[in-house]
Amino acid sequence: MSFKTEITKLHYNKKTLLCIFMPILSLCAFFYSIITKIRNYCYDNDIIKSQKVSVKVISVGNLTTGGVGKTPVVAEIARHYIKWKQKVAIILRGYGGKLSNKDVHVVSLNGEILYTAEEIGDEPYWYAENIPEAYVITCRDRVKAANYAITKFAPDVIILDDAFQHRKIKRDVDIVLVDSVKLFGNGKHLPAGPLREDLNGLKRADKLLVMNKSLKEVNTEDILSKLFDKNKISICNVVPSFTYNIKTTEILPLKSDVVAVCAIGQPEQFYNFVQQKYNLLGVRTFDDHHIYKKEDLSDIKCNIITTEKDAVKLEKFGFENIYALKLKLDLNIEEVLKNV
């Protein structure tokens, strides 16, 4: 049993052996919520001051742990500004890499990727590979990374990946993502639930983006409008586009037999996407940001489908049967960034 996998099940009301620990986890969550309230109070009342940097800063984050869809949204925003000839720097913590994220690491420069996915983490590497026009930088201190980027590269806009709770840096726009189905899980704070802070934190957001990964039309606006200005809520439909071989780029025919493999925060929706288009024989789930070994997959003889973020860590093994599922966002990015 993977502890991280089981704790995620607990957060979203699924059966798990960890239910017996809920009283202890709830006590820890009580103290966690007090700490976050005190911290937010200090920032809200300028007892602790956020630091302003000299260029526009856009943050993309969420209130919960796990994968909601921040990476493709950050990419879409970056491409929007790049299209208008703006210089873009993407800054993120760099979780899951071997290098220390206390230091500033420039992952990509002028289209050249300077680190491996293992060294720097899957998300920074994916950005570097898919948005070569952007400067991709990692450091857990976003102010330090932002000032470094400004000094070295003079970007017009900085996009922060997963920084809603990182209030040390002042931002011009806060975009918060919410899963249309899972919403806020069981409504409890970490570690008993997925919440990083109270739902009152939504008041800091400038835009709320509801990520719809189902085939159904979402009706969460009625729920969320009780917490947030309805006029600032946008819907982003996430749909599977096509699946390509990571070695040859060959497209995988629909209805092919496949095994789905991933190491992401909330894998169920990925598996649902695969099942819509292919004959899913089985799944193999690893902990979020898992560093793969060749033997993790070497026994799978049929087609393997994985996420694009996982694919960047699997390329080095040279397997010929690995395919990556590309997702497409149905999102009016101009509307999201209107008046920004």
What is the pLDDT at residue 339?
75
CB 207 within 8 A of CB 234: yes
What is the pLDDT at residue 159?
98
Partner residues linked to 325 by β-bridges: 243, 307
The pLDDT of residue 1 is above 50? no
Helices (H), the chain: 3-11, 22-44, 70-83, 117-120, 122-130, 142-153, 221-224, 268-277, 308-314, 333-336
CB 55 within 8 A of CB 86: no
Average pLDDT over residues 46-53: 97
How far apart CA 54 and CA 329 sit, in angstroms, is: 31
* Residues in Cβ contact with 329 at an 8 Å cutoff, skipping those fewer than 6 apart: 72, 73, 76, 236, 237, 238
Helices (H), 172-297: 221-224, 268-277
CB 320 within 8 A of CB 228: no
CB 33 within 8 A of CB 196: no
What is the pLDDT at residue 20?
84
CB 80 within 8 A of CB 337: yes
The pLDDT of residue 199 is above 70? yes
CB 168 within 8 A of CB 142: yes
Over pLDDT 70: what percentage of the chain? 95
Q: Is 3.40.190.10 the CATH number for 56-238+330-336? A: no
Q: Which range scores top for mean pLDDT: 13-17, 22-26, 124-128?
A: 124-128
Partner residues linked to 209 by β-bridges: 177, 234
What is the pLDDT at residue 9?
77
Give the residue carrying structure tokens 């694919």.
311
pLDDT band at 46; cut points 50, 70, 90: very high
The model's pTM is 0.92
Note the pLDDT tens digit of each residue in 96-143: 889 999 999 999 998 899 999 999 999 999 999 999 999 999 999 999
Secondary element (H or E) of residue 257: strand 257-262
How far apart CA 34 and CA 199 sit, in angstroms, is: 14
Average pLDDT over residues 23-44: 96
Output 275 or 289, whichever has higher pLDDT: 275
Give the residue carrying structure tokens 């690995």.
322
Least confident piece of the model among 30-34, 42-46, 289-293: 289-293
The pLDDT of residue 290 is above 70? yes
Note the pLDDT tens digit of each residue in 135-193: 999 999 999 999 999 999 999 999 999 999 999 999 999 999 999 888 999 999 999 99
Note the pLDDT tens digit of each residue in 221-246: 667 877 888 888 988 999 899 999 99
Report residue 171 as tokens: 């931002």
Report residue 225 as tokens: 């409008």
What is the pLDDT at residue 36?
97
What is the pLDDT at residue 2?
64
DSSP for 216-249, written as a single string? SPP-THHHHTTTS-GGGEEEEEEEEEEEEETTT-
Average pLDDT over residues 212-220: 76
